[in-house]
Amino acid sequence: MEEPISKFYSFDWGGVGVPWIEVDSPYVLKDQSLNSIVRVKALDKAGNEYIATLVPEESLRTISQNEIITYSIAGTALLVIIIIIIFVLVLRRRRKRMQQQDEVTDNIDTD
């Protein structure tokens, strides 16, 4: 079975509808650039099976870098949101104090 590298972290493979291809050795891979995940299922006459998986290292590095960039962007966005929330809360508190000071000043002036 040959799968796109983007499915590496998914659990789609191994299900009933998986497109396993029955072949005799040797088998020529469709993806000659080796950018796909290759899974080989070996069956013996007793019914035992073994699945070996080949994941190209270079493709894994690309996935890892993309995930790091995604998480970095998400982390930065979360940090910006938290800073904005803190800023808004500080402004509200200041306004409330100023209103209270104005009320006290108004009360002193009217007395």
Residue 65, pLDDT score:
60
- Give the C-alpha separation, 106 to 100, whole Å: 10
Segment 12-40 mean pLDDT? 75
- The most confident of 15-29, 39-53, 80-94, by mean pLDDT: 80-94
Indicate the DSSP class of residue 7. G
Q: What pLDDT is attached to residue 5? A: 67
- Ranges of H-type helices in the chain: 57-110
Q: What is the pLDDT of residue 69?
A: 65
Neighbours of 36 (CB within 10 A): 22
Candidates 24, 23, 52; CA nearest to 38 is: 52
Label residue 25 by pLDDT band (50, 70, 90): confident
Specify the pLDDT at position 10.
Answer: 58
Q: What's the average model confidence in pLDDT over 42-48?
A: 87
Q: What is the pLDDT of residue 13?
A: 57
Provide the pLDDT for residue 14. Answer: 55
- Greater pLDDT, 71 or 10: 71
* Strand runs labelled E in the chain: 2-4, 36-43, 49-54
Structure token pair of residue 43: 């069956």
Q: 80 or 19: whose pLDDT is higher?
A: 80
